[in-house]
Structure 1
């Protein structure tokens, strides 16, 4: 009977230790909210900022291009996504040329420090075999990869 009491306390101790370890593990792995999402990799953004006026100028430039219906620019950390809506009769080559011409509107420090993503789609809801197309430009690359 005395051995059973000792085993009971030992089992209880291990169960409590296991629960404490599980709570500690969950806190460190899953509830880590003491810092920014990207860590300190994006601290340079304070010095090199893609401003709202630059976004507006880029969107206005894209909207002024032939065949473009609408344009939108969204920034997420060190990634800038440019969404371009074109008319349904625009070819892939023309759409790619529009996106590539927009690179001239980005300042040089933005091109060297940010990743750019381009999504070109038609504004209509009908599915086409041509659109949407997706392209991206890395910080180190010179052109958009489709």
Structure 2
């Protein structure tokens, strides 16, 4: 064993340095990224399976919006506890009728869903109307939407 170490000093030293380097990298990784294996939302999504918004409900929201004369297109997207609704309205639609479209979203959800999910509604036009886009937000604890202040 002594002869091996004497004959391979450079190799043994390089191996020891590599082992120390790997241990240091691992220690630094644990210091800066301690919760890498945990869920991105933590426990905020606990109970979501009891009030899950189904694909059918999302399609019903889209259909009820697109059935309105004011709406060109609509889409939904769920991220965690947030339901995003994207609505493109016709160029002649004013602010108040556009804001009233949120009732179609709420009407297609159950009470326990509206008290679990935050709902964001993004309403835009294809033209360059300076009053649009507008964004409405309903917190799970509130009954009404709040709207962007500059519109």
TM-score tier after normalising by the smaller chain length: 0.7 to 0.9
Task: Report if aligned partners of 2:61, 2:104 keep a CA contact under 8 Å in 1.
Answer: no
The aligned counterpart of 2:134 is 133
The aligned counterpart of 1:110 is 113
Aligned-residue offset at 1:102: 2.5
The aligned counterpart of 1:11 is none
The aligned counterpart of 2:48 is 45
DSSP 3-state at the match of 1:56: helix
**Pairwise CA RMSD of aligned residues?**
2.1
The aligned counterpart of 2:6 is none
Following superposition, which runs of at least 4 residues in structure 1 exceed 6 angstroms of deviation? none
The aligned counterpart of 1:78 is 81
Task: Report if aligned partners of 2:65, 2:71 keep a CA contact under 8 Å in 1.
Answer: yes
Aligned-residue offset at 1:23: 4.5
Equivalent pairs, count: 128
2: distance between equivalents of 1:27 and 1:78? 29
Quick check: which has more Rg, 1 or 2? 2
2: distance between equivalents of 1:28 and 1:114? 34
Q: Deviations over 1:30-60 (max 9, x none)?
A: 3733122111121211221111000000100
Of 53, 60, 68, the match for 1:65: 68
The structure with the greater share of residues assigned to helix is 1
Unaligned ranges ≥5, structure 2 = 1-19
Q: Deviations over 1:80-131 (max 9, x none)?
A: 0011110111000110011234211111111010100010001x2x422111
The aligned counterpart of 1:10 is none
Call closer, same or farther: CA 1:29–1:114 in 2, change over 3 Å: farther
2: distance between equivalents of 1:39 and 1:56? 29
Unaligned ranges ≥5, structure 1 = 1-15
